[in-house]
Amino acid sequence: MSRLYLSPPHLSGAELEQVQEAFASNWVAPLGPKVEAFERAFSEICGLAHCAATVSGTAAMHLALRLLGVGPGDLVLASSLTFVASVSPAAQLGAEPAFVDSDPATWNMDPDLLAEALAELTSQGRRVKAVIPTDLYGQCADYDRLLAVCEAFDVPLVADAAEAVGATYKGRHAGGGARAAIYSFNGNKIITTGGGGMLASDDEALVREARRLSQQARDPGPHYEHSTLGYNYRLSNVLAAIGLGQLAVLPERVARRRAIFEEYREILGQTPGLAFVPEAAYGRSNRWLSVVLVDREVFGAGPGELRQALEARDIEARPVWKPLHLQPVFAQARVFGGAVSEDLFARGLCLPSGSAMTRADVERVCAGLLAAAGRG
């Protein structure tokens, strides 16, 4: 029986045609017509007017924060329950990350705690340069409430929508309304370029400068002139070609991930000791990963035991993100709240969710979970 991975790439075949066109044109270097087409196509999907394709979502976040003036002495407020790349660019720019706990209903940044954090920090004279909420596991944060708080304190919101391509909030795509939005096309995301990201914004000047910085900040002219230092962050034409093929099947990929989540919930949802994150009334999750919460005392096994039991059956599962305020690298960082994300980390388990999974694959995972708790 083949191994079940957490979230492997799922190619459709359309990617090959796009890549062959790139090869036929001999345009295999960074930039090129496929990059420009990918940016235009993604702009139409995300609803933000301008896009810059990058080598990773982390690179896109780095560019966004640099262009918002984040630097030494500044604070950046971010979700605690997220991957480290949400805030590592801020720290690398010399800023100090601080963390905001999750809303227990959505698992995303709590708008009330964000308001408390901004009120306290600004009263202390601290300079908060950006707020970075993460759309966790494909469910959008409550943008309207978060944006209202940010506007009250005149702080830009940068949406970390890396996990939420194809998700919506009140009818608009994840990231809509933010000063800038960041997306990821890493190999484990709902669609992939093999490795890549996107910076999107309605701010044309910001995206234009992001493109310049991502190409080593070369100034206009026949020779190489540099008035500032940049990066080698632009996506290659070949990888953009893969992205174009993947965008063509995005609705199908979202539909299948959502169906997989419902299959898990159908089989396990009535099992005592297991619970799934509800879908927020304001949006539609892409269900990038299906996550189950486990009450060890009731179910009969904890998430660590279940992960090991699944691994013994050649099934990959992972813990929920470890909150960033618990990470050694951020041991001295401020956190507002913390108990909710700590509880989700203690009880959560991410289950295989790849869009190529069959109903039989889902049943295989469920059988492994139930057997580990003596319920099989």
Question: DSSP for 288-341?
Answer: SSEEEEE-HHHHSS-HHHHHHHHHHTTB--EEPPPPGGGSGGGTT--EE--HHH
Mean pLDDT value across residues 305-311: 98
Report the topology of domain 250-372.
Aspartate Aminotransferase, domain 1 (3.90.1150)
160 pLDDT above the threshold of 90? yes
For 10-19, 24-33, 83-92, 124-133, which range has the lowest pLDDT when averaged over its residues? Answer: 24-33
Q: What is residue 375's predicted lDDT score, i.e. its pLDDT?
A: 84
**Do the bridges between strand 50-54 and strand 197-201 make them parallel or antiparallel, or are there none, so unpaired?**
antiparallel
Q: Which residue has the higher pLDDT, 135 or 218?
A: 135
User: Fold identical between 14-247 and 250-372?
Assistant: no
User: Residue ranges of the alpha helices (H) in the chain?
Assistant: 14-24, 33-46, 57-67, 88-92, 111-123, 143-152, 204-214, 237-247, 250-268, 296-299, 303-312, 339-347, 359-372
pLDDT at 163 over 90: yes
pLDDT band at 312 (very low <50, low <70, confident <90, very high): very high
Question: Residue 36 to residues 19, 180, 227, 238, 308: CA-CA distances in angstroms?
Answer: 14, 19, 25, 12, 44
Residue 221 pLDDT: 84
Please tell me the predicted confidence (pLDDT) of residue 355.
98
Average pLDDT, the chain: 97
pLDDT grade, residue 278 (50/70/90)? confident
Q: What is the C-alpha separation between 46 and 140, in angstroms, rounded?
A: 13
Average pLDDT over residues 268-280: 94
Whether residue 247 is predicted with pLDDT greater than 90 in this model: the reply is yes
Q: Are 354 and 7 in contact (CB under 8 A)?
A: yes
State pLDDT tens for residues 168-194.
Answer: 999 999 999 999 999 999 999 999 999
Q: What is the pLDDT of residues 207-216, one digit of tens each?
A: 999 999 999 9
Residue 228 in contact with residue 217, Cβ under 8 Å?
yes
Nearest-angstrom CA–CA distance, 6 and 12 = 19
Span 99-116, average pLDDT: 97
Which one-letter DSSP state was computed for residue 36? H
Q: Residue 159: how many CA atoms within 13 Å on its side-chain side?
A: 34
In this model, does residue 107 exceed pLDDT 80? yes
pLDDT of 1 higher than 80: no
H-helix segments, 93-142: 111-123
Residue 87: pLDDT over 80? yes
- The whole-angstrom separation of Cα 100 and Cα 119 is 13
Tens digit of each residue's pLDDT (9 = 90 or more) over 58-80: 999 999 999 999 999 999 999 99
Could you tell me which of 162, 172, 188, 140 has the C-alpha nearest to residue 64? 162
Q: Which CATH class is domain 14-247?
A: alpha beta
Largest CA distance in the chain: 71
Percent of the chain predicted with pLDDT > 90 = 95
Does the pTM surpass 0.75? The reply is yes
**For the chain, what are the domain ranges?**
14-247, 250-372
User: How many Å apart are CA 144 and CA 221, to the nearest integer?
Assistant: 43
DSSP category for residue 82: S
pLDDT of residue 31: 84
Residue 241: per-residue pLDDT: 97
Please determine, for residue 206, whether its predicted confidence score (pLDDT) is greater than 80.
Answer: yes
* Per-residue CA distances from 342 to 53, 138, 236, 348 (Å): 34, 20, 39, 10
pLDDT beyond 80 at 376: no
